[in-house]
Amino acid sequence: MQVAEYRKQIERFEESLNCELYRFFSGQDTSLSLAHIYSDFSDLHSLDAYREIDSEIERTPASYPSRIRSLEKIRGLIIEGYLDARSLALVQEAASLDAQSVHSSEVDAPMMQIPVLLARQPDVARRRELNTVYIRALLQSEKVRRDRIARLHEAARELGFDSYLRACERVTSIDYRVLSGAFDSLLAASEAEYLDDLRTSIEPALGISLEQVHRCDVGYWLSVHEPPNVFGARGLISALDETIGRLGVQPERANSILLDLEARPRKALRAFCLPIRIPSDIRVVMLPTGGYRDFAALFHESGHAHHLAWTSPDLPAEHRIHGDRGLAEAYGFLLEHVTRERLWLLEIQSYPDSSRFLHSRALFDAYNIRRHVAMLKCEVLLYGGADSSDAPQVYAETLTQYTGVRHDPECCWSDLDDGFYSADYLRAWIFEAMLREHFRVRFGYDWFHSREAGKFLKEIWETGQLYTADELSREIGLGTLDPQVLDSRSRPPDGTFPGSR
């Protein structure tokens, strides 16, 4: 198969796959049916295709770096497609189990919506009861998820890798073991202050000691610090439109971004952005549940959507479709973080006294960084081929140790993402922090109201997924990604919060 033919097949496959994913996770279809799509494109996700592209890379002289880059992207898509195809039945089974409703004396709702109910429940005992129901529901899919990890290892070995970890590293060129240790000194230096500040914030909010705090309490803790009547549903779209308008980054192509905010019983709780065709048909899907969570989610996914909508249509398919998820997530976090800027809160939301709210969000940032470092360490062990029998206990102990908040062993298999998304988020937070500081220096602290900043964003968005986050950071003069830039997030806030002058 010629490279041009691979590009056509990749684009057709992605469109078919994402259409199916959109319909299921937006709650419009009752079942996830992917087998026929992978069957239609079986030649694309085959050992023969992998070997052909791998051989082509070996034959290509180093003097043709652009061709090598394209071939490596195509190879990455083939590897991911092969791994997904080999574990497809288990993915569909897990998705069906997650979409089921839970019926008990505590709750009658789809399992995936229980975290929202936990965040709204003020009574500690009721939260514990509801969390127990959630854990029981998760256990129904535990075997399926464990089997999927085994299947991914098996598929990786078929491709010639000794583990799923090694297959992922071939796709991304990231050494996950090295990355998992890159945050150790940063977190160790800030641990005592972080725990002290977490105790000071969380104990009066929840009425329990830090030692008793459980992951199921985190959502309600954040809601306690959320101002009433500031993040109302009626102001959600207008706030986004105002921000995008001030930046001047509305897509050139009319209707290229579809916002699907309609409430449906089976709609996924977690917001997401799916590109059907890049850059002309991008879908943002969200189930509004009220409060700041909606603003953060919509702005985050809109960051993805605008990046994709501004991607140059002249780029080859592999540079529009496949790339560094850390780069893509950084754009999501950049726009999300605007909703935690003092000036934005004052001018767009008429919220002048935001210190208490920003304090809790900064502390949650610190919690989240620690949580994802811990998750990455667990994933390196699990996906590196370690015995998975004690994975739940290792997960619970590691997450509890790093965050200071108790985690359930039973959440291991649903919490740990395949594909090392924890690493993508960590690298995204680094690049986003560096990029945001660059914007502040170049365009001012109100950069999110600057059309010049918007013009700069459009220029880098046009490069699609040609660069990795590391490459783009160097290309625009920011230097190498440095975990130390997260120091202000991993340490407890001291009165100067992200977004303040």
For residue 103, what are the β-bridge partners?
108
C-alpha dist (Å) from residue 129 to 119, 121, 132, 221:
13, 11, 5, 17
- pLDDT value at position 494? 44
Distance CA 208, CA 495 (A): 25
Scored b (16 or more CB within 10 A) or e, 417-448 reads ebbbbbbbbbbbbbbbbbbbebbbeebeebbb
**In 3D, which of 373, 379, 344 has the Cα closest to residue 361?**
344
- pLDDT value at position 20? 96
- H-helix or E-strand containing 275? strand 272-277
Spatial CB neighbours of 276, under 8 Å, sequence gap ≥ 6: 15, 18, 19, 22, 282, 283
Distance CA 438, CA 432 (A): 10
- H-helix or E-strand containing 293? helix 292-309
Do residues 6 and 53 touch, judged by C-beta distance below 8 A? Answer: yes
Give the DSSP letter of residue 320. Answer: H
- pLDDT value at position 489? 59
**Tokens 């922090």, residue?**
433
Sequential pLDDT tens for the chain (501 residues):
788 999 999 999 999 999 999 999 999 998 889 999 999 999 999 999 999 999 999 999 999 999 999 999 999 999 999 999 999 999 888 888 887 888 877 788 777 788 888 999 999 999 999 999 999 999 998 999 999 999 999 999 999 999 999 999 999 999 999 999 999 999 999 999 999 999 999 999 999 999 999 999 999 999 999 998 899 988 999 999 999 999 999 998 889 999 999 999 888 888 999 999 999 999 999 999 889 999 999 999 999 999 999 999 999 999 999 999 999 999 999 999 999 999 999 999 999 999 999 999 999 999 999 999 999 999 999 999 888 889 999 999 999 999 999 999 999 999 998 899 999 999 999 999 999 999 999 999 999 999 999 999 999 999 999 999 999 999 999 999 999 999 865 554 443 333 332
Amino acid at 119: A
- pLDDT value at position 491? 52
**In 3D, which of 102, 80, 210, 204 has the Cα closest to residue 152?**
80
Length of the chain: 501
- Complete domains list, the chain, with CATH: 1-99 (no CATH), 174-251+292-299+306-501 (1.10.1370.30)
Give the DSSP letter of residue 406. Answer: B
115 in helix, strand or coil? helix
Distance CA 412, CA 416 (A): 6
Scored b (16 or more CB within 10 A) or e, 166-202 reads bbbbbbbebebeebbebbeebbeebbeebeebbeebb
Do residues 346 and 299 touch, judged by C-beta distance below 8 A? Answer: no
Give the DSSP letter of residue 492. Answer: P
Residue 255 CB neighbours (<10 A): 8
**In 3D, which of 296, 364, 376, 291 has the Cα closest to residue 332?**
296
Scored b (16 or more CB within 10 A) or e, 475-500 reads eeebeebebebbebbbbbbeeebbbb
Tokens at 183, concatenated:
């945050």
34 in helix, strand or coil? coil
Residue 251: asked if its preceding bond is cis (omega within 30°), the reply is no
- pLDDT value at position 172? 96
- Helix (H) and strand (E) counts for the chain? 24, 5
Report phi then psi at 287, rounded to 5.
-105, 100
